[in-house]
């Protein structure tokens, strides 16, 4: 087990890691009212660089805005907090968690918003996807609808739905849960976006199907199109996953994860299949600064 980092950022200042604590009356613990991000920092030939930090901080503000809430800090302050927790902890390849959460108060409408940023060491995201892939299960739990908990928001309480689905999948011996929306079409993984490859085309559901607007998803769509791979955003049925040549999941923490089977229907294109491999290589190259393309996506710390 690696030693914990020395410092965390809490409500505007760096504090000792062990002092980054909250009281049990913190309302976010009771009601799940919070908004967060997962961000990667990579060691590149030009030093550590955040991957699409600005886009992640923009999504954080938009997650809060869905709930009518303004962030307690500016994007500039949050970017500087991210920089500090990486540099002051001597980290390079790491994973960051900005979290805006409701503090203690008489009720949820009269409580302060608080904010933390933590970073932890993470393996480099460089390299091909894990051989063999994961077995995915389409969950019996449905993704919440757009008028229940808007899927465009990355909000803490929304992960209760992910917990139901992923816990059941793992208990049944699968690696990853995939959730359908209220209309029965593919929405999202529990913490990943879903892609299939069929007849040479790369397809992912439109965000209005109930997936989070993933930043890795956007990176994949952009890089694949540039590479000349036909890409489309259109609704996917359960059978589109069963009959796909390849299927993969995308997310900041896990990168590109190949799926070997869906509900025990083994995908014929392999795990990882050739398109999954190509996509994973494109994403890791751009994040790790192994290519000159998309320099605006790498935000260097010094
Ligand atoms: N869907 C859900 C529900 C998620 O929690 C995540 C992780 N943030 C994703 C998709 C992937 O998003 P990103 O690529 O921005 O990490």
pLDDT in tens, 43-99: 999 999 999 999 999 999 999 999 999 999 999 999 999 999 999 999 999 999 999
Q: Is the pLDDT of residue 127 over 60?
A: no
Burial-class residue 90 by CB neighbours within 10 Å (0-12, 13-18, 19+): exposed
CATH of region 7-121, choose from 1.25.40.20, 3.30.70.141, 3.30.470.10, 2.60.120.920: 3.30.470.10
Token pair for 261: 């089977």
Tell whether ligand 1 has an atom less than 6 A from the beta carbon of residue 151: no
- Average pLDDT on 203-229 reads 98
Domain regions of the chain by residue span: 7-121, 134-287
Tell whether ligand 1 has an atom less than 6 A from the beta carbon of residue 247: no
Query: Which of 144, 154, 187, 254 best tests ligand 1's pocket when mutated (most atoms within 8 Å of CB)?
Result: 154
Q: Is 125 left (phi over 0), alpha (psi -120 to 50) or beta?
A: alpha
The mean of the pLDDT values for the chain is 96
ipTM reported for the complex, 2 dp: 0.99
- Average pLDDT on 219-248 reads 98
Say if 7-121 and 134-287 have the same CATH topology.
no
Confidence of residue 129 (pLDDT cuts 50, 70, 90): confident
What is the distance between the alpha carbons of residues 9 and 20, in angstroms, rounded to a whole number? 8
Give the residue among 289, 299, 295, 242 at the shortest CA–CA distance from 45.
289
Write phi, then psi, for 212 (nearest 5 degrees).
-70, 140
Token pair for 20: 């980054």
User: Is 130 one of the catalytic residues?
Assistant: no
Question: Domain spanning 134-287 has what CATH number?
Answer: 3.20.10.10
């Amino acid at each position: 087990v690696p030693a914990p980092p020395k410092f965390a950022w809490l409500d505007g200042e760096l504090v000792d890691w062990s002092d980054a604590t909250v009281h049990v009356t913190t309302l976010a613990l009771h009601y799940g009212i919070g908004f967060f991000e997962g961000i990667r920092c990579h060691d590149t030939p030009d030093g550590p660089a955040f991957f699409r930090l600005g886009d992640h901080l923009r999504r954080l503000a938009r997650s809060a805005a869905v709930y009518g809430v303004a962030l307690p800090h500016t994007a500039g302050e949050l970017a500087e907090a991210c920089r500090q927790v990486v540099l002051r902890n001597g980290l390079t390849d790491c994973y960051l968690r900005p979290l805006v959460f409701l503090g203690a108060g008489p009720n949820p409408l009269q409580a302060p918003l608080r904010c933390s940023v933590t970073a932890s060491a993470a393996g480099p995201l460089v390299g091909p996807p894990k051989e063999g892939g994961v077995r995915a299960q389409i969950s019996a739990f449905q993704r919440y609808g757009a008028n229940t908990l808007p899927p465009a928001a990355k909000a803490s309480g929304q992960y209760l739905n992910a917990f139901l689905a992923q816990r059941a999948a793992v208990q049944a011996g699968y690696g990853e849960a995939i959730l359908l929306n209220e209309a029965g079409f593919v929405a999202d993984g529990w913490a990943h976006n879903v892609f299939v490859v069929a007849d040479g085309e790369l397809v992912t559901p439109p965000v209005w199907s109930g997936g989070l607007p993933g930043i890795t998803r956007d990176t994949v769509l952009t890089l694949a199109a540039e590479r000349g791979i036909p890409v489309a955003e259109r609704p996917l049925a359960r059978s589109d996953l069963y009959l796909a040549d390849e299927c993969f999941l995308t997310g900041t923490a896990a990168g590109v994860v190949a799926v070997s089977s869906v509900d025990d229907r083994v995908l014929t294109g392999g795990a990882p299949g050739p398109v999954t491999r190509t996509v994973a290589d494109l994403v890791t190259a751009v994040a790790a600064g192994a290519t000159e393309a998309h320099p605006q996506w790498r935000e260097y710390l010094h």
